[in-house]
Chain A
Amino acid sequence: MRQSSFKETAARICFMAAAALSIVAVALICIFLFANGIPALAEIGLPEFLLGQTWKPTADEFGIFPMIIGSIYVTVGAIIIGVPAGIFTAIYLSRFASKGIARILRPGIELLAGIPSVVYGFFALMVVVPLIRTTLPGNGFSLLAAALILGIMILPTIITVSKSALDAVPKNYYEGALALGATHERAVFRIMVPAAFSGIMAAVVLGIGRALGETMAVVMVAGNQPVIPESLLSGVRTLTANIVLEMGYAADLHKGALIATGVVLFVLIMLISLLFAAIKKRGEKS
């Protein structure tokens, strides 16, 4: 009897320790990022770092304002491209598609989610960039190319999350609308979509997080000049690209500045996660 209770306690402690490991992981990530980033931030000066317009590591000038703006531009572009297409696809899959089409399209969307970002980047490099180069001015490596490929990359996230929000709307909402004389389309767009609104918003926020954090596909096609882009066709550098481009050879303050770039990105992502949690909570309440 005593032996078995020992076994129970030991197992309980093991399982609990495993659960505590994720707390340890987050704590370690925060500690190491901040401990290595903040000294550099202090040396450069927070306003100079966040609002400085020039990034010239060789001259000890570390302003990441162009990269912050670049990240925002690219993300907004991806949202403009990916969100409408994604939400309409979700509505189609949830309420319009015949069984046969849904059976083909749904695994297709899952495959889209599984394609590695290097493959997206390579596709954009070989197809999207040359397409922009030949039809529009500039060399093709541009904000537009990055936004386009990111728009495609966030599609699966937006589709699956919005679709599950739409599917979770009680069936009698739809039937009630029909009973009141609404057409199928009217019932879907006036009743189902508003009822699933908070879920759809959550999908959009999740998409923003993905677009903001994506690295490889953007690096391959965005041109990566550390200046604020003047048009859709100019090159752009995002926060993520800044890290991956220069981390390989950076040292001292330069390295610290790159880690601080990571800190800024981390804080941005945390803010978005908070937003996501708030939206989800509100959705659960209503």
Chain B
Amino acid sequence: MSSKLLKFCTYAGATLSALALVSIVGYILIQGVPHLSLSLFAWEYTSENVSLMPALISTLIMAGLSLVMAVPVGVASAIYLVEYARPNSRFVRIVRITTETLQGIPSIIYGLFGLLFFTTALGWGLSLLSGACTLAIMVLPVIMRTTEEALMAVPQSLRQGGFALGAGRVRTVLHCVLPSALPGILGGVLLALGRCVGEVAALLFTAGTVAQIPNFGGEGIFALFESCRTLAVHMYVLASEGLHLGETYATSVVLLVMVVVLNMITHAVAKKLSKERL
């Protein structure tokens, strides 16, 4: 192939990718922004206003809950893998294989598992808690991976300094190593948050599709066992009903904005990180 043709191909490929992005984002924004109305953000959902507010709040609760479960476990296991375990020991190799497996499993399989385990076997029913636990397992490998990378990037001298001052291993890890790995870990948490916000297949059969906020005020902790729908699930339900197209567009605008904001924060964090390294 002549080099001109190849060069043309790279430009064409890049143009196509850019075009895909611009047309999807542009189309959703153009169709959706005019339909953003106050009633869409009404506190109560009715079949007339199809308010996305309950779904938005459920999303925050659901994502928060799953991160509260996944982040400590993910960070702790990364600490074990990087700071404690002998590299290439059998345990480490098995953990590596299982996290890679978890990372490759499609979300619908997580949904099936959540349905069989949390919803049915543990008897939690279609509930906030079942959904959040399913999501927590799903994002666990993401947090482990990024935390591991962040810990490995911490210079050895920080550890040596900690030990030299007479600190034990825990103290060195928690007070010297972990703080300087924090931006990297935060990046992983944001990535995980993005996955929670966009997930549908894993939630349909674990958290269900009830369009109300779980009633924490009335039932306290037992509201965890109420079904609710996140914003992405809400959008899927609206789209498959096909009755409220304008509102569906507007809902996808809100979803997109959330994703973009998360992306921007991740970028800002990454930038700060690379500056500090230099």
Q: B45 at interface (Cβ–Cβ under 8 A)?
A: no
B residues contacting the other copy or chain, number (CB 8 A): 85
Contact residues in A for B72 (Cβ distance below 8 Å)? 18
Q: In the complex the two chains form, what is the Cα distance from A264 to B122 in whole Å?
A: 25
Is B198 an interface residue when CB atoms closer than 8 A count as contact? yes
The answer for the CA separation of A2 and B74 in the assembled complex, in Å, is: 29
Choice from A22, A117, A119 contacting B140 with Cβ under 8 Å: A22
B99 partner residues in chain A, CB cutoff 8 A? 22
- Asked whether B121 is an interface residue with its Cβ less than 8 Å from the other chain, the reply is yes
Bound-state CA distance A97–B14 (Å) is 9
A4, B166: Cα distance in complex, Å: 12
Interface flags, A191-209, vs B, CB<8A=1, else 0: 0000000000000000001
Say which residue of B17, B81, B204 sits within 8 Å of A85 (CB atoms): B17
Contacts of A15 in B (CB 8 A): 76-77, 79-80, 83-84
Looking at the complex, which of B33-41, B112-120, B220-228 is the stretch in contact with chain A?
B112-120
Q: Is A26 part of the binding interface, using a Cβ–Cβ cutoff of 8 Å?
A: yes
Give the A interface residue count (CB, 8 A): 84
| Interface of A, helix, strand, loop or mixed by DSSP | helix
Q: Are B10 and A21 in contact (CB under 8 A)?
A: no
Q: Give me the interface of A with B, judged by CB distance under 8 Å.
A: 4, 7-8, 11-12, 14-16, 18-23, 25-26, 28-29, 32-33, 36, 84-89, 91-93, 95-97, 105, 107-112, 114-123, 125-127, 152, 155, 159, 183-186, 188-189, 209, 212-216, 220, 240, 243-244, 247-248, 259, 262, 265-266, 269-270, 272-273, 276-277
Partner-A contacts on B (CB < 8 A) = 1, 3-4, 6-7, 9-14, 16-18, 20-21, 23-25, 27-28, 31, 72-74, 76-77, 79-81, 83-85, 91, 94-95, 98-102, 104-113, 115-117, 121, 137, 140-141, 144, 168-170, 194, 197-201, 204-205, 232, 235-236, 239-240, 245, 248, 252, 255-256, 259-260, 262-263, 267
